[in-house]
């Protein structure tokens, strides 16, 4: 393909950092598909963004559509042409509609008979004429977490649109959107190279923007610049930067010309806990902490400014002044909190509402005291008192001055204050870990007590909200219940806890006492279990497990989440075996027969899984009964030890005998006693392998 460069740049007011990555993906995928649909060849599409621009380019785009030959089918041949071969009205209309003469039509055979048809070459249009409408539609289709309108316009966009640059080679692509028409002008950095800059050809866009506009367009280059220069600055003082990936991603999308700057703060502020110092820097100043080789914070911080200043010392002083004010506040709150006690805070929690019909945070702490203690009796022998203490103190830091100011420090400050007030280390650590995991990529609590407290806290919130009918709908989940349910699942799996999920939820409901529920307790628990089933399916599918494997494993039960994961792994391994498809078909057939009969008013109630050997008259059913009788003790032993891989191997061992039964014996025979006996033989198998998987759900 021989083409020319293409570039589209949307210039906006500062776009939120969190919008940009998604916008790049949207723009790349939609334009790629649109070009394919319109048969415009384009190689090497590339996107980039800064806070003030969204760009997509291509070094080699065809200036014309591809020309292809297409077949167009019209009316039936008999209706289009008379017996004498003369074109009738349908043929004349069809030919005129396609710009050909009737003699260019031919008979095209189809399964429904011959139809008038014509072959035409289509395409070949100029790309510069096709792109305006195509691009306007793509721009209008971009989605944002939030949109805004500006001036008197009706158009909604992420932020007000200020300019559009769009060139195909040296030609302006005349796309318009929101009252802004494309031209060949771009704008650079607000201070260092505002412009406007005239781009004569799409190929010189990058050079002009970098050299004259002083814009670092590629976010990866901005990231590498920040990291490399930041590390150099830290090395100069014998230290290292406390890089935080999420913050680094955000900072990179806040600047067009990144310049790392190392600043200082007073050494006296180092008396503040590490978490407080880093939060003050990261959350409010978008800056990074600096530590020595042993991990101790130093009185420095690294910030990233959006220009190369004439007076760097003056800029540094401004940043230091702002952080100093933050740290002064933090120190005041910290000292005030250190004079308080957990007993005082517990009393204050009585006036803090949890959920209006469900009492106060003090009530919640007493429920957590009870529920965490119950969990500890099973999973932390000898630590019952510590578990109860952790539950009781779980929310006291919510009324601390520090957490009122820095809400993101909830939990962390609870652990810090607990240590200062002489609480056991495992209690302090549990308080710090209670909100974990905070997301799908966040770690679970490292300590066992932290894991149990997190389970209790999340279960308490879930049963409370479901009991009030406050369930997530669509994307609306104000109480983060999906995250809470997934957190419970991950904690159970990663800590290897063998507990009954339904019992955990029942215990959490019981801890509420005589709460004024809006939803019946049993019904609420059923909804919660279904809610967990959906979260577990989404979790395993997100891990790359095929949907049919997940559905089969969950269908066999999921109250024991640890066992569910073990079954998923065993089924996934089993699915790679050559005999997998045939085995599934065999046991799916057996399961379907039994499930159908369970609803049968004649045989269903009489099936108990016990067959009478005296009624086994066919050699194939006798062989199956003998083989299965020999396998049952091994099966039960493996089931007790959760050896799911070995249990699936046993199914392969019995499969040939089951196949032989289906091939030679009529299970649903007319004789009632023989039929029920054969069904009971199959039910004995199905009842046992149902704990492995819902075989009909495998859909093979």
Measured between alpha carbons, how far is 233 from 266 in angstroms, rounded to an integer? 19
Measured between alpha carbons, how far is 272 from 262 in angstroms, rounded to an integer? 20
CATH 3.30.70 placement within the chain: 4-64+126-211
pLDDT for 613: 81
Measured between alpha carbons, how far is 119 from 104 in angstroms, rounded to an integer? 9
In which element (H, E) is residue 33 found? helix 17-37
In which element (H, E) is residue 542 found? helix 521-542
Nearest to 281 by CA among 249, 324, 334, 310: 324
Q: Please give the structure tokens belonging to residue 436.
A: 């974990």
The three-state secondary structure class of 390 is: helix
Which residues in 89-183 belong to E strands, given as ranges?
A: 106-110, 113-123, 161-168, 171-172, 176-177, 180-181
Q: Please give the structure tokens belonging to residue 241.
A: 């930067």
Strands 106-110 and 113-123 turn out to be: antiparallel
Q: Please give the structure tokens belonging to residue 339.
A: 């004079």
Measured between alpha carbons, how far is 482 from 534 in angstroms, rounded to an integer? 10
CA–CA distances in Å: residue 166 to residues 5, 10, 30: 11, 9, 17
- Give the DSSP per-residue string, 327-359: HHHHHHHHHHHHTS-HHHHHHHHTTSBSSGGG-
In which element (H, E) is residue 585 found? helix 580-598
User: Which residue is listed with tokens 């260092």?
Assistant: 192
The three-state secondary structure class of 445 is: coil
Which residues in 13-66 belong to E strands, given as ranges?
A: 42-43, 46-50, 53-61
CATH fold, domain 569-698, is: Isoleucyl-tRNA Synthetase; Domain 1 (1.10.730)
Measured between alpha carbons, how far is 25 from 561 in angstroms, rounded to an integer? 36
Measured between alpha carbons, how far is 173 from 179 in angstroms, rounded to an integer? 15
Nearest to 167 by CA among 67, 63, 48: 63
DSSP-H helix ranges across 125-211: 127-140, 205-211
Q: What's the first-to-final CA gap in the chain, in angstroms?
A: 45
Region class of 590: left (phi > 0), else alpha (psi between -120 and 50), else beta? alpha
Measured between alpha carbons, how far is 312 from 310 in angstroms, rounded to an integer? 6
- For residue 615, with 0-12 CB atoms within 10 Å meaning exposed, 13-18 middle and 19 or more buried, which class applies? middle
Nearest to 269 by CA among 331, 356, 214, 180: 331
Low-confidence stretches of the chain (pLDDT beneath 50): none
User: What's the CATH class of domain 4-64+126-211?
Assistant: alpha beta
CATH 1.10.730 placement within the chain: 569-698
- What length does the chain have? 700
pLDDT for 401: 95
The three-state secondary structure class of 624 is: helix
Nearest to 508 by CA among 395, 373, 362, 347: 373
Contacts of 170 (CB under 8 A, 6+ apart): 4, 200, 201, 202
Measured between alpha carbons, how far is 455 from 462 in angstroms, rounded to an integer? 11
- For residue 274, with 0-12 CB atoms within 10 Å meaning exposed, 13-18 middle and 19 or more buried, which class applies? middle
Q: Please give the structure tokens belonging to residue 386.
A: 């510590």
Cβ(528)–Cβ(505) under 8 Å?
yes
């Amino acid at each position: 393909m021989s083409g020319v460069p293409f570039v589209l740049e949307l210039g906006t007011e500062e776009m939120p950092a969190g919008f940009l990555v998604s916008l790049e993906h949207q723009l790349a995928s939609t334009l790629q598909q649109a070009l394919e649909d319109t048969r415009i060849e384009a190689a090497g599409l590339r996107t980039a963004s800064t806070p003030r621009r969204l760009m997509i380019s291509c070094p080699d785009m065809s200036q014309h559509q591809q020309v292809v030959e297409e077949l167009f089918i019209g009316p039936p041949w008999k209706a289009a042409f008379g017996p004498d071969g003369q074109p009738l009205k349908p043929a004349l209309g069809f030919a005129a509609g396609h710009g050909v003469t009737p003699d260019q039509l031919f008979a095209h055979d189809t399964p429904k008979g011959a139809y008038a048809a014509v072959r035409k070459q289509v395409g070949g249009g100029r790309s510069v004429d096709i792109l305006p409408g195509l691009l306007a539609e793509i721009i209008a289709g971009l989605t944002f977490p939030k949109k805004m309108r500006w001036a008197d316009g009706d158009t909604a966009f992420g932020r007000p649109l200020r300019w559009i640059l769009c060139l195909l080679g040296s030609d302006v692509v005349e796309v318009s959107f929101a009252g802004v028409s494309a031209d060949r002008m771009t704008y650079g950095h607000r201070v260092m190279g505002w412009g406007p800059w005239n781009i004569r050809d799409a190929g010189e866009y990058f050079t002009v923007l970098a050299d004259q506009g002083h814009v670092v367009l590629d976010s990866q280059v901005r990231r590498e610049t920040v990291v490399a220069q930041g590390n150099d600055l830290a090395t100069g003082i014998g230290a290292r930067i406390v890089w935080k990936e999420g913050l680094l991603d955000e900072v990179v999308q806040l600047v067009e010309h990144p310049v790392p700057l190392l600043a200082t703060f007073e050494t006296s502020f180092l008396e503040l806990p590490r978490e407080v110092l880093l939060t003050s820097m990261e959350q409010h100043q978008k800056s990074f902490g600096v530590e020595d080789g042993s991990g101790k914070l130093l009185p420095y911080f690294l910030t990233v400014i959006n220009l190369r200043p004439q007076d760097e010392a003056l800029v540094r002083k401004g940043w230091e002044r702002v952080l100093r004010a933050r740290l002064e506040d933090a120190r005041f709150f910290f000292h005030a909190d250190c004079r308080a006690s957990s007993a005082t805070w517990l009393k204050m929690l009585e006036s803090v509402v949890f959920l209006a019909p469900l009492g106060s945070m003090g009530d919640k702490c007493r429920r957590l005291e009870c529920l965490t203690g119950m969990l500890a009796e099973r999973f932390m022998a000898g630590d019952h008192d510590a578990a109860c203490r952790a539950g009781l103190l779980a929310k006291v830091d919510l009324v601390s001055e520090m957490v009122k100011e820095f809400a993101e420090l909830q939990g962390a400050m609870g652990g810090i204050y607990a240590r200062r007030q002489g609480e056991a280390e495992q209690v302090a650590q549990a308080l710090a870990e209670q909100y974990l995991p905070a997301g799908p990529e966040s770690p679970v609590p490292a300590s066992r007590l932290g894991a149990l407290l997190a389970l209790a806290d999340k279960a308490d919130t879930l049963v409370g909200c479901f009991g009030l009918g406050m369930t997530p709908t669509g994307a609306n989940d104000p109480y983060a219940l999906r995250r809470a349910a997934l957190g419970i699942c991950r904690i159970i799996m990663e800590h290897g806890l063998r507990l009954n999920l339904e019992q955990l939820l029942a215990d959490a409901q019981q801890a509420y006492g005589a709460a004024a529920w809006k939803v019946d307790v049993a019904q609420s628990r059923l909804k919660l279990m279904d809610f967990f089933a959906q979260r577990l399916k989404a979790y395993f599918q997100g891990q790359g497990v095929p949907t049919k494997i997940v559905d089969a494993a969950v269908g066999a039960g999921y109250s024991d989440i640890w066992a569910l994961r073990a079954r998923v792994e065993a089924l996934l391994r089993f699915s790679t075996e050559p005999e997998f498809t045939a085995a599934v078909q065999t046991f799916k057939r057996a399961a379907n027969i039994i499930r159908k009969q369970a609803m049968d008013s004649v045989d269903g109630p009489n099936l108990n899984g016990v067959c009478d050997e005296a009624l086994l008259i066919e050699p194939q059913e006798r062989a199956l009964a003998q083989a299965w009788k020999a396998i049952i003790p091994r099966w039960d032993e493996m089931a007790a030890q959760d050896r799911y891989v070995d249990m699936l191997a046993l199914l392969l061992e019995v499969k040939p005998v089951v196949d032989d039964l289906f091939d030679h014996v009529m299970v649903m025979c007319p004789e009632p006693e023989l039929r029920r006996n054969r069904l009971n033989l199959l039910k004995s198998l199905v009842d046992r392998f149902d704990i492995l998987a819902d075989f009909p759900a495998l859909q093979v």
